[in-house]
Structure 1
Amino acid sequence: MARSKLDSIRERLNISRLAIQQSWLTICCWMAIAVAGLFAFSSLKYALFPDITFPVVIVNATAPLETALDSETELTIPLEEELQSLDDLRKMVSSTSAGRTVINLRFRVGTSLADSTAAVEQVMIEADLPADTETEVTPLNLNEATTVSYALSSDSLALEDLAALADREIIPPLEDIPGVLRVDLLGTGTQAETDDSADSFLADLENPPTLIRFGRDEALALQVAKQGDANTLEVVDRVETEIQQLQAELPEVQLIQAATQADYIRAATQATIDSLLGAILIAVLVIFGFLRSWRATLITALAIPLSLLGTVTPSSISSTRWPSSP
């Protein structure tokens, strides 16, 4: 009696039987999965790195100290003694130069980057440091890296005038683009002047002069960094559209794309898609070679891409970022 009830339950819960009996419902269900998967695939976020937080905080301290030994004694050692008591701190690496200390703090994976940054900032407030010391605490997010860089040059403007034009006319509209975190201008270095004052010394440490050459000519560099949760490809496309508009408005300036993450991401994504299509084709040919049935082969040919599209939809809903590893 119990066995017959169990067999009856198994028969009712036989998914294959239900799918065959309700064939139109099955077809509509898989069509819905395919359509949802196609829409989800078009909205996936792509980035150079996966969406994984590595809690790294950089401490930068500058003071009017003339030698690296003085900086180590009065900056590095006191800071290390205070910072080593932080919870979940896994590794601390410091670099000392005359008047400057940079400390790299690596916390355990899974630790909140915001909480780690707040804890470091609290320690910096309480640290006993020399007078006129300036400190900066920077959380490091791999996905907030530079996504596209442009070389900025002009045949009629000096570098100083070109830099002023960039600050006034080019950088503000780029920073207003959704997904853009910041725009850095490099190459504004000027001839060094002899000045032994502490203020000049600190200014040189905080804003070191840079010199950019594009080809053989002196130029400026614009580096556009995206927000950590932004889609790299979308940000690059928006920036490129804005750059084209700025180029039309500023004919005396040449804006040339020098480097971008988008090309690598697109190439890696296309390589992944090509590999999947090749794998599906090989699987279909092998199955047909064994079964000698076009119907069975067609079922397999449809099942593989449908199952892949079915996995894309949850990824899109959860806003998972797909890394562009080849």
Structure 2
Amino acid sequence: MSRFFIHRPIFASVISIIIVIAGIMAARVLPIAQYPEIAPPTVIISASYPGASAETLTKTVAAPIEEQLSGVEGLIYFNSTAASDGQVAITATFEVGTDIDMATVNVNNRVKIAEPRLPDVVRQYGVNVQKRSNEILMVATITSPDSSRSALYLSNYALANILDDLKRISGVGDAQIFGALDYSMRVWLKPDRMAQLGVTTTDVANAIAAQNKQNAAGKIGQEPAPDGQQLVYTVTAKGRLITPEQFGDIVVRAQGPNGVLRVRDIARLELGAQNYDSSTTLLGKPVIGIGIFLQSGANALEVAQSIRTKLEELKQKFPSGVDYVVPFDTTKFVDASIREVVQTLAEALLLVVAVVYLFLQSWRATLIPMVAVPVSLIGTFAGLWIFGFSINTLTLFAMVLAIGIVVDDAIVVLENVERLMSEQKMQPMDAAIEAMREVSSAVVAIVLVLCAVFIPVAFLGGIAGKLYQQFAVTVAISVVLSGIVALTLTPALCALLLKVQHEEAPL
């Protein structure tokens, strides 16, 4: 087979060029991350039962849902958390590699089956099922440098004007506000006044629910209508209440001569946050954090840059006293790690070239592994794309290790050609043909032995196995490509570039 490529060096070169082009194209589309995706995907089920204790939540909300979760495809385990503030959260963890979107659908279907068994209040508030990415990309904080804006204002401004824009960026899996303070009308009841008037909290809650709603008031003049009716009017009614004054005017009880009892008579109303369970600070100042999670398979560096660009664009519309800061960004470490590994890659390549020249004493001979090694390394990116891997610290370290391995195949061929030319005074073409007849089986054996060492590691299970898999497969791909190049391009280059030398080497 090698004789075919020795007589057709252009064909051998085309094969290597195709490998390089495929590697370059793959490298441009491969996702870039610090580590491979090894964390199992999770789905969060959350529900609210105001006023319920943790024990009540466990029995009435968590238990019915947990019964239905058993048997969901790909589910490893789930755990529940019930708090005394009426919040319950169930985290379902799935096997690594599970399609998180399909897992979310499966969990949601099981929750729908359990909903009829849940308390009415829980169903009214709704049971939320959402996927959660474990790969946080960055945290952007909305701040007020001059302290003119409260955390309540910042939270709701971020919710209304920033959050959705960030979620729409390509590559963003999810974005959520940490320590959210959603606007809520807080009704502080006066128990002593209520006791005097014989009013219960249920009376107040029912009055607010009945009078704070969006009603469809209907139409006037709609068919069937009397003869001569020409116009149709849509009746508009005041919708949901907005200000504390409007809520204060809600009628709790009307007893004719006894007058009208309104909410403001038995309660103090103010616009505040729905809950104050958590808060976020930066350098001692209250801020609102927006956690941004990376979408599976996305390029972390490109997504982070897109987020910063979008934040700068949104900043132009910020009101006075509002700014943003990015205190946490994982891509800084990713960028630094990749730069260091690429630098190590270049240093290792130069070291290989120096060693080859030192022992072969010929620039022509040194040029051959200099061409062969990059072909194998660049082509490895195409293999990473085929296997669905990413460019990360592990795969780049594997390529650093592979430099010393892939150069061996080219050197085995090159040194044998040099030996035949020196000892038997053969011409480069004849020496290349004879050398390949002698070492072709050895090159194939080297490739098979190295693959036998690394490939079994790729079948290890668990999270550690996922780490080893990326490393082992990267080395195996580079070794296979190195063997292909050694059997095709290297002998062709030897026949073209080497010259018969009868003088002694200078060193």
Q: Which residue of 2 aligns with 1:136?
A: 128
Are 2:300 and 1:232 equivalent residues in the alignment? yes
Q: Which amino acid aligns with 1:116?
A: A
Q: Does 1:30 align with 2:16?
A: yes
Greater Cα shift, 98-107 or 173-182: 173-182
Q: Which string of whole-angstrom CA distances, capped at 9 and with x for unpartnered residues, describes residues 166-188 of structure 1?
A: 44544454344333344434455
TM-score, normalised with respect to structure 2: 0.52
Equivalent residue for 1:215, pick from 283, 293, 296: 283
Residue 152 in structure 1 maps to residue 143 in structure 2: yes
Counterpart contact for 1:186–1:212, Cα < 8 Å: yes
Residue of structure 2 in register with 1:66 after alignment: 52
Structure 1: tracts of 5 or more residues without a match: 1-13
| SS of residue paired to 2:127 | strand
Inter-CA distance 96–219: structure 2 relative to 1 (3 Å threshold): closer
CA distance 1:177–1:111, shift in 2 (3 Å): closer
Aligned to 2:94: 107
1:62 & 1:173 partners in 2: Cα distance? 28
In structure 2, how many angstroms separate the alpha carbons of the residues matched to 1:78 and 1:205?
A: 31
Q: Which one has the bigger strand percentage?
A: 1
Displacement of 1:317: 6.3
| 2:178–2:280 Cα contact (<8 Å) kept | yes
Equivalent position of 2:353 in the other structure: 284
| Comparing 150-159 and 262-271, the one that deviates more | 150-159
CA separation of 1:33/1:79 partners in 2, compared to 1, >3 Å: closer, same or farther? closer
Code of the residue aligned with 2:121 in structure 1: it is D
Give the Cα separation in 2 of the matches to 1:116 and 1:152. 36
SS in 2 for 1:91: strand
Task: Pick which of 283-292 and 18-27 moved more.
Answer: 283-292
One of 164, 177, 180 as aligned partner of 2:169: 177
Shift of 1:241: 1.8
Distance 1:206 1:295, change over 3 A: farther
User: CA offsets per residue over residues 184-237 of structure 1, 9 Å max, x none?
Assistant: 3445549996858798xxxx9986554222223222323333433332211111
Alignment-mate amino acid for residue 259 of structure 1:
F
CA distance in 1, matches of 2:353, 2:365: 10
1:153 touches 1:220 (CA, 8 Å); kept in 2? no
Percent identical pairs in the alignment equals: 26
Say if 1:195 and 1:225 are closer, same or farther in 2 by CA, change over 3 A: farther
Per mean C-alpha deviation after superposition, the further-off stretch among 82-91 and 116-125 is: 82-91
TM-score under structure 1 normalisation?
0.77
User: Contact 1:56–1:104 (CA<8 Å) still a contact in 2?
Assistant: yes
Other structure's SS at 1:155 match? coil
Q: Does the 8 A contact of 1:151 with 1:256 survive in 2?
A: yes
Return the alpha-carbon distance in structure 2 between the equivalents of residues 168 and 59 of structure 1. Answer: 24
| 2:108 corresponds to | 121
In structure 2, distance between residues paired with 1:106 and 1:205: 31
* Cα shift readout 1:238-282 (whole Å, capped 9, x = no counterpart): 121222233345483322221112111111212221222232233
Question: Which residue is equivalent to 1:3?
Answer: none
Structure 1 CA distance, aligned partners of 2:28 and 2:389?
Answer: 13
Matched, 1:298 2:290: no
Q: Which amino acid aligns with 2:107?
A: V
Task: State how far apart, in whole Å, the 1-side matches of 2:393 and 2:377 are.
Answer: 17
Which residue of 2 is the match for residue 243 of structure 1?
311
Structure with the greater alpha carbon radius of gyration: 2
Number of residue pairs matched? 307
Structure 2 SS opposite 1:306: helix
Preserved contact between residue 56 and residue 141 of structure 1 (Cα < 8 Å): yes
1:268 equivalent to 2:259? Answer no
- What's the counterpart of residue 50 of structure 1? 36
Residues 35-71 of structure 1, C-alpha deviations (whole Å, 9 max, x = no match): 4433432332112442568343322233235322222
Q: Label 1:220 to 1:89 Cα distance change in 2 as closer, same or farther (>3 A).
A: closer
Aligned match for 2:392, one of 319, 323, 326: 323
**Cα contact 1:147–1:232 (8 A) shared by 2:** no
Query: Is contact 2:181–2:273 with CA below 8 Å preserved after alignment?
Result: no
Higher relative contact order (CA 8 A, sep 6+): 1
Contact kept? 2:61, 2:118, Cα under 8 Å: yes
Structure 1 residues 296 and 265 mapped into 2: Cα distance closer, same or farther (>3 Å)?
same
